[in-house]
Chains A and B, each alone.
Chain A
Amino acid sequence: MISHETVIYENSFSLEGRTFKNAGYISRQVKTLLQRMKLSKEVARRAAIVTYEAEINICSYAERGKIILQVTPKRIIIEAIDEGQGIADIKLAMKEGYSTATEKIRHMGFGAGMGLSNIKNFSDFFHITSKVGKGTHLKMIIRI
């Protein structure tokens, strides 16, 4: 859907799963990059929020993952691809308040069942696919 657009910036970031050690590091880098591109505060903030939520999910539920950032003149495309347990029922996982979080995740202040719906709310386009035992793929687009 973006083949006709020129990608003016692309970067990929790797993230270790099952630990919160680096959670938030990638969203900070994404925000800094977008701010340097002189994009609006709102756009940079929304991109940082969806990236951070995706990071939290990888840190919570996956073995490892990567986040790919692409910027075109019209939009920001963020993909989060992980290797992990996957999601059995996406419709249920999208429901606010539904969560399979462990005590450790909740202890960090997450796992309230808001993450995926929050990503959807802060994106202009959101698509999720998942395979149990394989992993999850999120795609978010924010219009500039």
Chain B
Amino acid sequence: MTLREVQEILEAEVFFGHDQLGMEVKTAFGADLMSDVLAFAKAGSLLLTGLTNPQIVRTSDVLDIAAIIIVRGKSPLPETIRLAEELNIPILGTKYILFETVGRLYMKGIVGCIEKVSDKRDFS
């Protein structure tokens, strides 16, 4: 689905990236621990998180995350938005809690970027 459809499903506010809502997304990873995001999230996925600091953008940048969705009605810090603009990563916010955000997207076809953790190394 497109990021625009994600935005509509989540009734999300777009903090940055209005011009990128046409991008296609298929997978997502949800976590508040950037350490876990770095270990498990795959390129091209949405990042669903409750954190609002600039490290969510840095983490997304190194991992080639497609877009960031901040959950639980929080707003990104001003320096987070500035960094998202600099690195050109869309950043949206929804009032839904993480569980509801995930459930609503999953029902419409977005799946996890991995199903389970595995012992095998996978760099994608």
Number of chain A residues whose Cβ lies closer than 8 Å to a Cβ of chain B: 27
> Cβ of B123 and Cβ of A42 under 8 Å apart?
yes
Q: Evaluate whether A45 and B123 lie within 8 angstroms (CB atoms) in the complex, with A109-B34, A110-B34, A118-B39 already known.
A: yes
> Cβ of B64 and Cβ of A45 under 8 Å apart?
yes
Identity of the chain B residue whose Cβ is nearest the Cβ of A120 in the assembled complex: B121
> Cβ of B55 and Cβ of A110 under 8 Å apart?
yes
Inside 8 A of B58's CB, which chain A residues have their CB? 23-24, 27-28, 52
Q: How far is the CA of A51 from the CA of B58 in the complex (A)?
A: 12
Closest chain A CB from B20 CB (angstroms) = 19
Partner of B55, one of A23, A41, A117: A23
What is the predominant secondary structure among interface residues of chain A facing chain B? helix
Closest chain B CB from A95 CB (angstroms) = 14
Partner of A28, one of B51, B56, B87: B87
> Cβ of A52 and Cβ of B59 under 8 Å apart?
yes
Inside 8 A of B53's CB, which chain A residues have their CB? 20, 108-109
Binding site for A on B (CB under 8 A): 32-39, 43, 49, 51, 53-56, 58-59, 61-64, 87, 121, 123-124
